Amino acid sequence: MPTTGLKCDTSGIYRSSCNAKTEIALSKSETFPPCSHCRKAVTWTLVRATTHK
Ligand SMILES: [Zn+2]
């Protein structure tokens, strides 16, 4: 699973693994940020992929 600091290779909505369960939209080649709520490095889980056609 992607973590803070890694490059995103699937555009989509991601949810942080921490208690805040922050959701972010990230595009391919962007870098996974820290959690915007607790500002820690977290693991991001893909909720749903978004495709650009
Ligand atoms: Zn958090």
Which two three-digit tokens encode residue 8? 């995103």
> What is the maximal distance between C-alpha atoms in the chain?
34
CA of 53 to the centre of ligand 1 (A): 32
pLDDT of residue 51: 81
> If you search the block for the tokens 């693991």, which residue do you land on?
43
Residue type, 14: Y
CA of 15 to the centre of ligand 1 (A): 10
Average pLDDT, 10 consecutive residues per value, the chain (53 residues): 96 97 97 96 97 68
* DSSP codes, 12-42: EEEEESSTT--EEEE-TTPBPPPPTTT-S--
> Rounded to an integer, what distance in angstroms lies between the CA atom of residue 51 and that of residue 33?
21
CA of 43 to the centre of ligand 1 (A): 10
pLDDT of residue 14: 98
Q: pTM of the full predicted structure? A: 0.90
Which two three-digit tokens encode residue 13? 């909505």
